[in-house]
Amino acid sequence: MLRSWRIPAASLVLVAGAALTALAAGGASAAATPSATHTSAAKTVTVTIHTATGTRTVKMVPVAVARPGSTLHQVKPSTQLGAKSGVSHASTTSTNWSGYAADSGTYSSVSATWVQPTGTCGGSGAKDKYSSFWVGLDGYSSSTVEQTGTDTDCVGSTPSYYGWYETYPNPSYSFGDAISPGDTISASVTYESGSSFEYTLSDKTKNWSVSTTQTESSAARSSAEVIVEAPCCTALGQPLQLADFGTVNFSDSVVDGSAIGNTSPEQITMVGNSGNDKDTVSSLSAGENWSATWKSAK
């Protein structure tokens, strides 16, 4: 499922810096997919931003930036028993995803809430690293992903936090509203009709919400997931290093109005090339609450 557009990891620092500069200036900037890190023909999109003080409409154009968004790169399947729920869940290891995915039907909505984790980025000379937290439809067994979420990235020794949406393999768009570690984030993707999907991202701590409707004509809607992701790819086709996010706690993981645990979901653990776990994923509590804990960058 690897994509053909790639740039060396060293090049990502320059484009990432451009996006951060735009965000700091108060504008809404955008980012391209990491497994398809490339510059697409500029496509302006209109995003409706809802806040406590009113509603505004902004236009955004994508720029080339390393940002997550790719289909699952599966390594091997296995089966394990959910310790708390007592329900047998299929388990998969992946080089770039961890979390939970419903994959046995056709899905119309997915949502979850999480606390934005703090990035631990190391000292002078530290390498860039990336971690993403998102909800989405498709991507587990199909070639598109309709997704929205947030990042905890390390640009060298400096942590960076931002929210985005993406209709993969098209470019992703970063929202200009500020996100801080410790903020409570809610996200949802909802199929509307035809080829239309609504993406909504909210920061409950800062009291803002963003939403936009975009189209994907080839979406299969064959999976729904709540995911931690290591962006992909380096020049060698490998996932970029996973930023140390500590532990991220997810709650209210819901698919089509019901707890994701009711779908007999796949539990996914991210692994490195040597077979080591890059993070650990807890079992589901009450069918919809779980956590992921960082273990290794690669």
pLDDT, tens digit, for every residue of 119-166?
999 877 788 999 999 999 999 989 999 999 999 999 999 999 999 999
Global pTM value: 0.78
**Which DSSP category does 262 fall into?**
G
For β-strands 88-94 and 266-270, DSSP reports them as: parallel
**Which DSSP category does 273 fall into?**
T
CA dist., res. 244 & res. 292, Å (int): 11
CA dist., res. 117 & res. 130, Å (int): 12
The structure tokens listed for 157 are: 């020794």
The structure tokens listed for 151 are: 């990042």
Distances (CA, A) of 217 to 31, 36, 144, 145, 189: 22, 19, 10, 12, 16
pLDDT, tens digit, for every residue of 167-209?
988 888 887 778 999 999 999 999 999 999 999 999 999 999 9
Asked if residue 29 lies in contact with residue 23, where contact means CB atoms within 8 angstroms, the answer is yes
Asked if residue 197 lies in contact with residue 215, where contact means CB atoms within 8 angstroms, the answer is yes
CA dist., res. 110 & res. 97, Å (int): 17
- Reply yes or no: is the peptide bond before residue 232 cis, omega within 30 of 0: no
Residue with tokens 């931003």: 49
- Better pLDDT: 48 or 209: 209
Which stretch, 28-37, 229-238, 263-272, has highest mean pLDDT? 263-272
Q: What H or E segment, with its residue span, contains residue 253?
A: strand 247-255
The structure tokens listed for 91 are: 């388990």
